[in-house]
A = this chain, B = another copy of it.
Amino acid sequence: MKPVKIPEKTVTRLSIYLRCLEELEADGVTSISSRQLAERFGLNSAQVRKDLAYFGQFGVRGLGYHIAELKHNLERILGLKQDWEVVLVGVGNLGSALIAYKGFGARGFKIGLAFDSSPAKVGQVIQDVEIEGMDRLAPTIRRRRVKIAVMAVPAAAAQSVAELLVEAGVTAILNFAPAQLTVPAGVKVQNVDLSVLLKTLSYHTVRANRPVRTDPHSAE
């Protein structure tokens, strides 16, 4: 049986659905229709049904989804039934904040290892995590079988750090460096380039705040 290719956006939306279900559960709701789910969270109900259908039959026609059950299934699909040890490379301002960021730990992602190339940083401890030198990266990742890495290194170092990580067995990278990484097939990279995000906002801001043109024939 050939596996169905699941769209990347579907996977992203599963996480968002899961968050909605957590919120509903906290409110004491036990079941919900795709339409109600869509209305409450500003989602598209046809999209919700389509996304979930990739993974099986979850809802009951006319009754909707049983929240605890769907939540359990989404957690299973997303690989959240286990805790993940995450390695951080690059402990500057952003890296330090990521170690301290509570949002990760709450979701089963623990930054338990941190590496930096600066000798001044090696040995420092941030939130119980001791910063190690880059020479320790590969052996430690191998020994601990770490699969997920967060990179907060300068752009110039990004590709070589990614190669070190992949060589040591990492298969998923959350990359904050403003650089396109080239990685082998099977390794997943998520880029979070804050300046690219801000640029798309400035693009929209220029347009949103542009004076309205009254002459339809005026040149652009």
Q: Choose from B84, B188, B200 the contact partner of A208 (Cβ within 8 Å).
A: B188
In the bound complex, residues from chain B placing their C-beta under 8 Å from that of A164 are: none
A120 at the interface (CB under 8 A from B): no
Q: CB distance B101 to A205 under 8 Å?
A: no
What is the CA–CA distance of A1 and B216 in the complex, to the nearest angstrom? 6
Q: How far is the CA of A130 from the CA of B138 in the complex (A)?
A: 42
The 8 Å CB contact of A171, one of B104, B148, B200, B205, is B205
Most buried by B among A1, A173, A206: A206
Minimum CB–CB distance from A178 to chain B (whole Å) comes to: 6
Chain B residue numbers with a CB within 8 Å of A79 are 199, 202-203, 205-206
Chain B residue nearest to A170 in the complex (CB): B205
* Interface segment out of the listed A10-18, A27-35, A45-53, A60-68: A10-18
Of chain B, the residue at the smallest CB distance from A218 is: B1
Contact A204–B172 (Cβ < 8 Å): yes
Known: A84-B205, A109-B198, A204-B188. A93 touches B97 (CB 8 A): yes
